């Protein structure tokens, strides 16, 4: 098993003329970590990855691997494995020759190449596919070959930029599982770029949320979901009911009463300097009688969405104000009727008060 590399960004930034693709960034990624970089299109994810690969020359700051400054090192000397969205296998080489390619470049002995290729094929569960051509493989199989090729020389660091982006949803979920297994078995540090929050959350030890060239927050997925630092992070990770705050009246015991843009008054805990109150749909109780909650409103169900394992109700509780409640569903769950009048409620502790 490879020892994963430590990766460090120190004041690293990239400008293209007037465009700041990456604002000066500090970040430490620990050996063996699966680290995801998540953010909307154009937020700077590929730019950050490119500075590690050596495709992007930073305008300022440094990149370090195991403490050594690699900022100016040519890409081919960095000993980094890479997997990208368009798997870019060599179309006229068999699967085995594709995987052998980086080993040939490194002039390894023939017998060792054969042994390593066989091992890499087993690792991505393509044992019987050595002599196939890329065109004879499915998208997921091609992506697994690309993964084997990137990992075959045991690099301590693997970079992946939307590697599953071209695959359909089911295949993507299978591959997420495989990548987790793969990471577990190789021990390399993985820096993984995606704009899919579910994908990042399902695989990463920690993740960074990027927005406009800056990292908004770094942490384990559950921490970012439960304690987002601002409304961008809250909105980007999963669903959230958001209420704009127009006035705050502090109360005892760390609570406040918030007057909101839609005219409702809400009780919540936390920072009196926040500008939005955010409640996750799974923390909203919906019932035919008023639930015993700090915040309680009646309204009409305007939409019902059945998803795997849950039901999402959209409830209009005031003009221009629809609250989403998500309820876990079982076989016997009674579904409340559309247009039915119901009550929704949540506790002050479940409301996050966040800056914009
Ligand atoms: N070579 C370039 N010249 C000028 N601007 C660039 C260049 N490469 C990237 N940019 C700009 O830098 C910003 C960040 O781009 P980047 O490719 O890092 O985004 P991203 O987060 O990877 O987006 P996506 O999810 O769409 O891949 C964007 O505004 C982009 O237009
Ligand atoms: Mg990109």
Q: d(Cα 253, Cα 310) in Å, to the nearest integer?
A: 34
Q: What does the mean pLDDT of the chain come to?
A: 92
- Token pair, residue 230, equals 């601002």
Task: Identify the band that residue 290 occupies on the pLDDT scale cut at 50, 70 and 90.
Answer: very high
Measured CA to CA in angstroms, residue 251 lies from 124, 147, 256, 267, 278 at distances of 58, 56, 5, 9, 19
Q: d(Cα 128, Cα 131) in Å, to the nearest integer?
A: 8
What mean pLDDT do residues 94-98 have?
A: 96
- Listed in sequence order, the residues at least 6 apart from 235 whose beta carbon sits closer than 8 Å to its beta carbon are 242
- Residue 46 Cβ inside 6 Å of ligand 1? The answer reads yes
Task: Identify the band that residue 221 occupies on the pLDDT scale cut at 50, 70 and 90.
Answer: very high
Q: List, in sequence order, every residue forming a beta bridge with 306; answer none if it has no partner.
A: 311
Could you tell me if 148 and 94 are in contact, meaning their C-beta atoms sit under 8 angstroms apart?
no
- Residue 211 Cβ inside 6 Å of ligand 1? The answer reads no
Nearest ligand by distance to the CA of 84? 2
Task: Identify the band that residue 88 occupies on the pLDDT scale cut at 50, 70 and 90.
Answer: confident
Report how far ligand 1's centroid is from the alpha carbon of 150 (Å): 24
pLDDT score of 178: 83
- Token pair, residue 129, equals 């596919």
- Listed in sequence order, the residues at least 6 apart from 355 whose beta carbon sits closer than 8 Å to its beta carbon are 229, 230, 231, 271, 273, 274, 275, 276
What is the residue with the minimal CA distance to atom 19 of ligand 1? 42
Task: Identify the band that residue 253 occupies on the pLDDT scale cut at 50, 70 and 90.
Answer: confident
Higher pLDDT, 56 or 86: 56
pLDDT > 80? residue 322: yes
From 12-26, 42-56, 165-179, 196-210, the region with the lowest mean pLDDT? 165-179
pLDDT score of 261: 94
Task: Identify the band that residue 272 occupies on the pLDDT scale cut at 50, 70 and 90.
Answer: low
pLDDT score of 1: 64
Residue from 235, 248, 356, 341 nearest 298 by CA = 341
Report how far ligand 2's centroid is from the alpha carbon of 89 (Å): 20
pLDDT score of 87: 63
- Residue 39 Cβ inside 6 Å of ligand 1? The answer reads yes
Domains of the chain, first to last: 7-234 (3.40.50.300), 240-354 (2.40.50.140)
pLDDT > 80? residue 180: yes
Report how far ligand 1's centroid is from the alpha carbon of 5 (Å): 26
Report how far ligand 2's centroid is from the alpha carbon of 253 (Å): 45
- Residue 16 Cβ inside 6 Å of ligand 1? The answer reads yes
What is the residue with the minimal CA distance to atom 3 of ligand 1? 16
Choice from 14, 17, 18, 21 to test ligand 1 binding pocket (greatest atom count within 8 A of CB): 21
pLDDT (tens digit per residue) in 39-84: 999 999 999 999 999 999 999 999 999 999 999 999 988 989 998 8
Any idea of the CA torsion for 232, 236, 241, 243, to the nearest 10 degrees? 10
Report how far ligand 2's centroid is from the alpha carbon of 42 (Å): 7
- Residue 43 Cβ inside 6 Å of ligand 1? The answer reads yes
Percent of the chain with pLDDT over 70: 99
Choice from 47, 159, 192, 196 to test ligand 1 binding pocket (greatest atom count within 8 A of CB): 47
pLDDT > 70? residue 133: yes
- Residue 44 Cβ inside 6 Å of ligand 1? The answer reads yes
- Residue 176 Cβ inside 6 Å of ligand 1? The answer reads no
Nearest ligand by distance to the CA of 22? 1
What mean pLDDT do residues 296-320 have?
A: 94
What is the residue with the minimal CA distance to atom 28 of ligand 1? 42
pLDDT > 90? residue 171: no
Task: Identify the band that residue 20 occupies on the pLDDT scale cut at 50, 70 and 90.
Answer: very high
- Listed in sequence order, the residues at least 6 apart from 96 whose beta carbon sits closer than 8 Å to its beta carbon are 117, 121, 130, 131
- Token pair, residue 117, equals 């290729």
């Amino acid at each position: 098993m490879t020892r994963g590399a430590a990766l460090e960004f120190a004041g690293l930034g990239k400008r293209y003329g007037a465009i700041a693709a990456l604002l000066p960034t500090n970040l430490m990624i620990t050996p063996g970590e699966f680290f995801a970089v998540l953010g909307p299109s154009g937020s700077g994810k590929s730019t950050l990855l490119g500075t590690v690969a050596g495709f992007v020359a930073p305008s300022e700051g440094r990149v370090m691997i195991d403490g050594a400054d690699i900022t100016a090192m040519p890409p081919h000397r960095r000993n980094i494995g890479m997997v990208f969205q368009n798997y870019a296998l060599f179309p006229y080489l068999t699967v085995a020759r594709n995987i052998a390619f980086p080993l040939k470049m490194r002039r390894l002995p023939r017998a060792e190449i054969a042994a390593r290729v066989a091992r890499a094929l087993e690792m991505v569960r393509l044992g019987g596919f050595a002599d196939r051509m890329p065109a004879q493989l499915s998208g997921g199989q091609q992506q697994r070959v690309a993964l084997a090729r990137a990992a075959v020389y045991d690099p301590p660091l693997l970079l992946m930029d939307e590697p599953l982006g071209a695959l359909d949803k089911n295949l993507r979920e299978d591959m997420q599982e495989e990548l987790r297994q793969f990471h577990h078995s190789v021990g390399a540090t993985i820096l993984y770029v995606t704009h899919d929050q579910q994908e990042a959350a399902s695989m990463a030890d920690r993740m960074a949320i990027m927005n406009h060239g800056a990292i908004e927050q770094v942490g384990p997925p559950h921490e970012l979901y439960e304690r987002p630092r601002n409304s961008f992070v809250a909105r980007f990770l999963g669903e959230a009911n958001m209420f704009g705050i127009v006035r705050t009246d502090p109360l005892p015991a760390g609570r406040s009463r918030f007057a909101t843009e839609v005219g409702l008054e809400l009780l919540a805990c936390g920072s009196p300097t926040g500008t939005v109150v955010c409640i996750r749909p799974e923390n909203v109780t919906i019932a035919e009688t008023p639930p015993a909650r700090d915040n309680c409103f009646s309204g009409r169900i305007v939409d019902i969405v059945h998803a795997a394992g849950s039901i999402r109700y959209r409830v209009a509780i005031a003009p221009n104000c629809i609250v989403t409640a998500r309820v876990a569903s079982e076989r016997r769950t009674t579904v409340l009727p559309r247009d039915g009048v119901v009550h929704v409620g949540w506790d002050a502790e479940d409301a996050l008060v966040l800056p914009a």
